[in-house]
Amino acid sequence: MFKLAVRVGFYAFRVRDFIRAITTQECASISSALLNGDDQNILDAVVYCTRVAEADGRKKLLAAKLVTPLVQLLEHDSDTIVIWSLDVLGNISKDALAQSTAVTEEAIPKAVKLLRTGTEVQRGFAAYLLGQLSSNYRSNSLEIEEAGAVPFLVGLFFFLEEPTLMFRKVLQHIHLAALLPTMTLFVLRSLR
């Protein structure tokens, strides 16, 4: 099992080396698809954005102002589009400017809503996004806490019956150190 994971990781790393930089024209095309496309065009654009963001193309996606339409897609009817949008926003939000833009566009309340009411996969990706948004700014962590996310994060961490591969990815990337005192209190209270 471990060798397979290493191989998968190795191949993912090698693929990253071969993804070329996104062009300005492609950014415009993606923006158009996100804003005006049908569900299939939107899904194709979001999946492409995810791959570009994973290959360190975050700055070009930011320059193309794609964070705003991606945050809007968190309320889309398609579960698949929502999941991919959460993933790309989590990948892009490694950048401070993207974090700031996503927070301004109300990504935190939308992600918390998905954390509460979404599917298991959506909840995992919502936790990933919230972890990325909280990683550099205490104010974002406080907003996440005030939005009522802590009980749902604790539930996700401690009570998930069958952690999926995606949930393991979330655990690898999430950084909610600023929320740990509150999470600890919640766990202690629930043990009484």
- The better pLDDT of the pair 55, 93 is held by 93
Residue 59: CB atoms within 10 A of its CB come to: 15
Kindly tell me if the per-residue pLDDT of 57 is higher than 90: no
94-126 pLDDT, tens digit each: 888 888 999 999 999 999 999 999 998 898 899
- Same domain for 191 and 134: yes
Q: Give the C-alpha separation, 160 to 12, whole Å.
A: 27
Q: Give the C-alpha separation, 134 to 141, whole Å.
A: 5
- Same domain for 63 and 33: yes
Query: Half-sphere exposure (CA, 13 Å, Cβ side) for 99?
Result: 19
Angle between helices 107-117 and 96-104 (to 10 degrees): 80
What is the gyration radius of the CA atoms in the chain, in angstroms? Answer: 17
What pLDDT score does 111 carry?
A: 96
- Same domain for 169 and 91: no
Kindly tell me if the per-residue pLDDT of 165 is higher than 90: no
Residue 14: CB atoms within 10 A of its CB come to: 9
Range of the domain at 49: 1-105
- Residue 148, amino acid: G
The distance of Cα 12 from the centroid of its chain, to the nearest Å, equals: 18
What pLDDT score does 28 carry?
A: 87
What pLDDT score does 183 carry?
A: 57
Q: Give the C-alpha separation, 107 to 101, whole Å.
A: 9
Q: Give the C-alpha separation, 34 to 98, whole Å.
A: 17
Q: Contact at 8 Å (CB) between 126 and 120?
A: no
59-100 pLDDT, tens digit each: 888 888 899 999 999 999 999 999 999 999 998 888 888 889
- Same domain for 164 and 84: no
Q: Contact at 8 Å (CB) between 149 and 110?
A: no
Q: Contact at 8 Å (CB) between 42 and 33?
A: yes
Question: Which CATH number characterizes residue 82's domain?
Answer: 1.25.10.10
- In this prediction, residue 23 has a pLDDT band, given cuts at 50, 70 and 90, of confident
Domain edge (last residue) among 105, 123, 138:
105
Kindly tell me if the per-residue pLDDT of 7 is higher than 80: no
pTM for this prediction:
0.76
- Residue 36, amino acid: N
Mean pLDDT of 148-152: 79
- Residue 169, amino acid: K
- Same domain for 154 and 99: no
Query: Half-sphere exposure (CA, 13 Å, Cβ side) for 82?
Result: 22
**Ranges 27-41, 111-125, 132-146: which has the least confidence:** 132-146
